[in-house]
Structure 1
Amino acid sequence: MDFQRIFYIMISNSAPIILCVLGGNYAHIAGVLNISLEGMMLIGAFASVLFVLVTGSILKGALIGIILTLVFGLIFEGRIQA
């Protein structure tokens, strides 16, 4: 493998984590402390896959994953007192 292919694979596989870190930075700027970002990603992914397996609808599975991720995000967020 050449360096260019390894770099492409590395960036494409780390894109979800990079987006998660950017969301954490925006939350920090807004004054919200949230250290459960990867956990929320896993909860949303698990709920989506489980719901798709149960119902067979990909769109409904994605919506349930988004909703559960939002609910758990609201539960586990904390405000920073500056």
Structure 2
Amino acid sequence: PLSRRPGFSKTSLAASLAEAGIDYVHLKALGTPKRGRDAAKKGDVATLEAVYADQLELPEAQAQAAQMLALAAEKPSALLC
């Protein structure tokens, strides 16, 4: 949702996509937790994968994954993040 690159934070990205007729849905629970992002910055792929696998097992991540699949089925032009 946040980016140091101009135009890529969720608010400005969503606005730009809307102009192109593309919906943006932020699914926070499907993101990588800080520990995983820190591991990625260090090149520690094994830790990143383990942290993200744990994240995907959480009930809120499961619910948002189901939401993502439902959105993709009903609205193929949606951009899901």
Identify whether the pair has TM-score above 0.5, normalized to the shorter chain: no
Give 1 or 2 for the bigger CA radius of gyration. Answer: 1
TM-score between the two structures when normalised by the length of structure 2: 0.34
TM-score between the two structures when normalised by the length of structure 1: 0.33
